[in-house]
Amino acid sequence: MIRFPFLDFNYEFGYLYKRLQEICGRVIDSGRYIGGEEVTGFEYELGEFIGSPCVVGCSNGLDALRLIFRGYMELGLLRPGDEVITPSNNYIAGILALTDCGLKPVFVEPDPATYNLDWTLVEDALTNRTRAIMPVHLYGRACPVPAKWKEQFLIIEDNAQACGARVDGKYTGTLGHAAAFSFYPTKPLGALGDGGAVSTDNPELAEVIRALRNYGSDRQYHNIYRGLNCRLDPIQAAMLREKLRWVESDVRFRNLKVDIYNMAIENPLVVKPTIPADRRESMWHQYVIRVVGGRRDDFRKFLLEQGVETAVHYPTPAYLQPCYKEEYGHLSFPIAERLCDEVVSLPMSKATIVDDAAKISEIINYFE
């Protein structure tokens, strides 16, 4: 029997159920089902929340990334064949967005202590085609952007997993030049379907992306770009306006559980995530441990027998996926591949209360 589910949407939305129903009614009554006040309202509120001057809502996180790359291409700041540095353990979406736009991902190993891009390795990956760097705030852990790199290259943050995280008080999504958000239901700020957004401090880029997401038109029936249809649904925007109000308390709740896990888990086969001094600033979308000694599958089976559901983010690096076999299948990144073999995500959703984290830790300590 599952005592500790990895995710439980009934629980997740339960406390907001009535509120979300009312909001749905509000959108139905408005008669406005594409664009409109819910979308512009959400864009404004997300911008206020993270401290970004320009937020453009869109259809999902992958499209947010594609819109950023397409936008920079329309502005002449990126060209087909340009290289973009990104961590070797990145989720597939960022790589798909790059190759879709004719850009070339150049992989750099992550720091195994934080799972985030290891900036000390960036220097060696530079070529005369390097134009941008795409750090990922993976698992909701804020990846600081050194000023040195921001001065030289376009920094595009993949902020899909970290809405609400901060570095020195500055929200992720405002650390680079542009950032992509995903509002996939499981993400820190999740809709009741697909959704996404781009944030940027560059009003020109924002304007291009506003047009690109809507057939490339700057006004009705006037197309200045060969655009896409990547609009944010007003029902989702309305849901997100409500859910945005809960992000801050969710950050605190997640950090509390991280404290419990990190204090209570004590097992020589388990490597816990390191907590840097700025730990309060991470969102902890996932709490990811490593199980060493080739025992990951045994560990997950043991936990499941005790009623604890776990997940693996992710079992295969993007560059080894069948769709990239020809271009990148020959590459090898030992740290990324070791992470794929060792990582386990523990329950961290709203359904996991602090007491559960203590009980799950106790079960983990019995594994041998």
The residue number with the shortest CB distance to ligand PLP is 61
CA-CA-CA-CA dihedral for 25, 31, 32, 34, to nearest 10? 90
Nearest 5°: the CA angle 206, 212, 218 is 80
- Residue 173 binds ligand PLP (CB under 6 A): no
In three-state form (DSSP H/G/I as H, E/B as E, the rest C), the secondary structure along 296-331 is HHHHHHHHHHCCECCECCCCCCHHHCHHHHHHHCCC
Nearer to ligand PLP, 64 or 357 (CB): 64
Contacting range for ligand PLP; rule: CB under 6 A; set: 35-43, 54-62, 73-81, 232-240? 54-62
Check binding of 233 to ligand PLP (CB under 6 A): no
Q: Cα(287)–Cα(44) distance, rounded to whole angstroms?
A: 30
Residues 5-44: x where in contact with ligand PLP by CB under 6 A, - otherwise, as a string: ----------------------------------------
Each residue 147-166 as x (binds ligand PLP by CB under 6 A) or -, in order, gives: -----------x-xx-----
List Cβ neighbours of 204 (8 Å cut-off, separation of 6 or more): 75
Q: How far is the CB of 283 from ligand PLP (least distance, A)?
A: 12
Which amino acid, one-letter code, is at 192?
A: L
Of 329, 330, 342, 295, the closest CA to residue 110 belongs to: 342
R_g over Cα of the chain: 21
Is residue 90 within 8 Å of residue 117, measured between CB atoms? Answer: no
Provide the H-helix boundaries in 57-182. 61-74, 92-100, 122-125, 147-152
Q: Which of 30, 43, 14, 107 is nearest to 240 (CA)?
A: 43
Q: Which stretch binds ligand PLP (CB under 6 A): 56-64, 107-115, 231-239, 241-249?
A: 56-64
Q: Which of residues 89-118 bind ligand PLP (CB under 6 A)?
A: 91, 93-94
Task: Determine if 69 is a binding residue for ligand PLP (CB under 6 A).
Answer: no
CB of 114 or CB of 161, closer to ligand PLP:
161
Task: Out of 4, 47, 60, 143, point to the residue binding ligand PLP (CB under 6 A).
Answer: 60
Among residue numbers 187 through 226, which ones bind ligand PLP (CB under 6 A)? Answer: 194, 196
Give the number of residues in contact with ligand PLP, rule: CB under 6 A: 14
**Contacts to ligand PLP by CB under 6 A:** 60-62, 91, 93-94, 136, 158, 160-161, 182, 184, 194, 196
